[in-house]
Amino acid sequence: MIKTPYQQLEDRWRKMDALAGAQSMLHWDMSAMMPSGGAESRAEQLATLATLSHAMITDPAVPDLLDGAEADPHLNPWQLANVREMRRAWVHGAAVDADLVESLSRACSACETVWRNARADNDFATVLPKLSEVLNLSRQMAAAKADKLGLEPYDALLDQYEPDGRAAAIEPVFADLKSFLPDFLQDVLAAQAAGPRIEPLTGPFPAAQQKALGQTFMAALGFDFAHGRLDESLHPFCGGTQDDVRLTTRYDEANFAPALMGVLHETGHALYEQGLPKAWRGQPVGQARGMSLHESQSLLIEMQACRSREFLQYAQPLLCEAFGGSGPAWSVDNLARLYTRVERGFIRVDADEVTYPAHVILRFELEKAAIAGDLQMQDLPGAWNDGLEALLGIRPPTDREGCLQDIHWFDGAWGYFPTYTLGAMTAAQLFAKAKQDVPAILPGIATGDFAPLLAWLRTHVHEQGCLLSTKDLLKQATNEPLNAKHFTAHLKARYLPL
């Protein structure tokens, strides 16, 4: 039987999805398990897979198949959306030649390997040549995609992570946050200083207990351990495939909060992946919509749900049991003060909700300048330190607490950072609507029953895949376009209650 153009495209994308899954697993292994001696062969493996994937999507037959599929009158809405996403992927892929794809893959693998030691040793100079090479190749990719897409170079990179995302739309939103946050931060810090004293929790907190507790919370949230696992890495992340989701965190036996919050954050990502429409596995319409929506799912779980007082009512006895806690320091009131404590800090992944947007705005501004050619990598440490001081009034004492802290640029992810704060805004808007639609959500969280929340997210976000654009999905789920009012209202209610 002769297959239609659409059926041929589905077959092709199914194979490309398998290659992408293999790449993701190799990246996870490189971060969580691979011995240092495997770096060279791993770079070769990843470069080969990237080249094969690129060859499949840039095959001269693809444009004609896309034209044929788009003209097919028998496709249903999901299939039409699938063709739309195929076309989008083809435009991105065809814009870049195979040699550049391979060179960038090799450069990113090499740079990430050097970064691991450079970060630990606080040695930016060691990784500078590799980072400069990654940036140079990323700028070449940005230029090639910009020409094909008719966009500015930075927008061409942003579009990879946030379909239809544009810097011009993000800049005024971030400008509003920059004007709102300084005074708000001062008010929050003053209110906390005038409030009850926060009693510190004293360790040690063994990593084994931290991991077991994290897995308990993952299970309560709805994570399916038959299709995923939790491991340890230098930088927390969620990877793997929809049927085999890999989470990582990092442990500090003097403070269990960062690892726990990291697990909750990555579980939000994982729930999204596990909840994507099974009927569309291996097809672009069955993938996550984009990174702002992906970040909304992690931040909704970590920040909206699991820093709430209701969550602490559920978690408090489990924390006490895991770490032998007792006394006033382990009361729900004190834990609430601890988990909503606001302070100026250097590390993005450990930042509270109030200061977190400043970390993202800094990276957004720096990566825009770097892609435009206005910032050279040898000047990155100073520009980073100056920017953080301007935004938060603190200056990193070392590059390990400054420009070496995040893996993204060293692994080639330029244009990614704004999605974090767009995700925070989206999370607040979705959670507000979910609570309005399902009054059982907050009482459920207080008893460890996350089923009402997960069911709402499954219906309105996860199972939608890429059927709709991000804008249309949010409008359908919340009855309004994305705006900052829910995020700022949430911050005010949590940190400056009347």
**What would the pLDDT profile of 284-336 be if each residue is shown by its tens digit?**
999 999 999 999 999 999 999 999 999 999 999 999 999 999 999 999 999 99
Average pLDDT (86-94) is 94
**Does residue 50 contact residue 105 with C-beta atoms inside 8 Å?**
yes
For the chain, list the domains and their CATH numbers.
Answer: 5-163 (no CATH), 168-495 (1.10.1370.30)
pLDDT in tens, 108-136: 999 999 999 999 999 999 999 999 999 99
Instruction: Give mean pLDDT, residues 62-88.
Output: 97
- The string of pLDDT tens digits covering residues 335-374 is 999 999 999 999 998 899 999 999 999 999 999 999 999 9
Residues 443-484 have pLDDT tens digits of: 999 999 999 999 999 999 999 999 999 999 999 999 999 988
- What is the pLDDT of the chain when averaged over all its residues? 95
Contact status, residue 247 vs residue 230, Cβ threshold 8 Å: yes
Is 310 among the residues known to form the active site? no
Query: Looking at 10, 162, 266, 365, which residue is catalytic?
Result: 266
Percent of the chain with pLDDT over 90: 93
> So what's the pLDDT on residue 498?
67
Is residue 414 predicted with pLDDT exceeding 90? yes
